[in-house]
Amino acid sequence: MLDDHGFDEAPLEEIEDAATATPSANRQIARAAGVVMAAFVLSNVVGLVRQILVSQAFGTGAAIDAFNAASRLPDLLFSLVAGGALGSAFIPTFTSFLARGERDRAWRLASSIANLVTLALMATSVVAWIFADPIVRHILAPGFSPEQQALTASLLRILLISPLIFGISGLVMGILNAHQRFLLAALAPTMYWLGMIFGVLVWAPKWGIYGLAWGAVLGAALHLGVQIPGLLRLPGRRYEFTLGLGDPAVREVGRLMAPRVLGVAIVQLNFWINVVLASSQPKGSLTAIQIAWAVMTMPQVVIAQAIAIAALPTFSAQVAQGRLDAMRRSLASTLRGVVLLALPAAVGLIVLRKPVVALLFQRGEFTERSTELVAWALLWYTLGLVSHSVVEIVSRAFYALHDTKTPVLVGSVAMSLNVGLSFAFVALFQRLGWMPHGGLALANTVATTLEMAGLLYLMRRRLAGLDGHYVLRGIAYAALGSAIMGVAVEATWRALAAYPLAVSVTLAIVVGAGVYVAVLWLLRTPELREVWQMARARWRRA
Would you give the distance in Å from CA 356 to the centre of its chain?
A: 21
pLDDT in tens, 463-513: 988 888 889 999 999 999 999 999 999 999 999 988 999 999 999 999 999
Which residues touch 534 (CB under 8 Å, ≥6 apart)? Answer: 27, 30, 31
Domain ranges in the chain are 1-245
Which residues touch 310 (CB under 8 Å, ≥6 apart)? Answer: 29, 32, 33, 35, 36, 182
Check residue 259 and give its pLDDT. Answer: 81
Alpha-carbon distance 39 to 128, whole Å? Answer: 33
Q: What is the mean pLDDT of the chain?
A: 85
Q: Which residue has the higher pLDDT, 259 or 281?
A: 259
Query: What letter would DSSP give residue 162?
Result: H
Q: Which residue has the higher pLDDT, 102 or 158?
A: 158
> Which residue(s) pair with 221 in the sheet?
none
Check residue 31 and give its pLDDT. Answer: 74
The pair phi, psi for residue 244, each rounded to 5°, is 60, 35
pLDDT in tens, 436-456: 989 999 999 999 999 999 999
> Which residue(s) pair with 2 in the sheet?
8
Give CA angle at 109 (242, 264), nearest 5°.
110
Model pTM?
Answer: 0.77
Residue 94: name the closest of 10, 166, 31, 177 by CA: 177
Alpha-carbon distance 148 to 133, whole Å? Answer: 11
Dihedral sign of CA atoms 332, 464, 451, 410 in order: positive
The pair phi, psi for residue 212, each rounded to 5°, is -70, -40
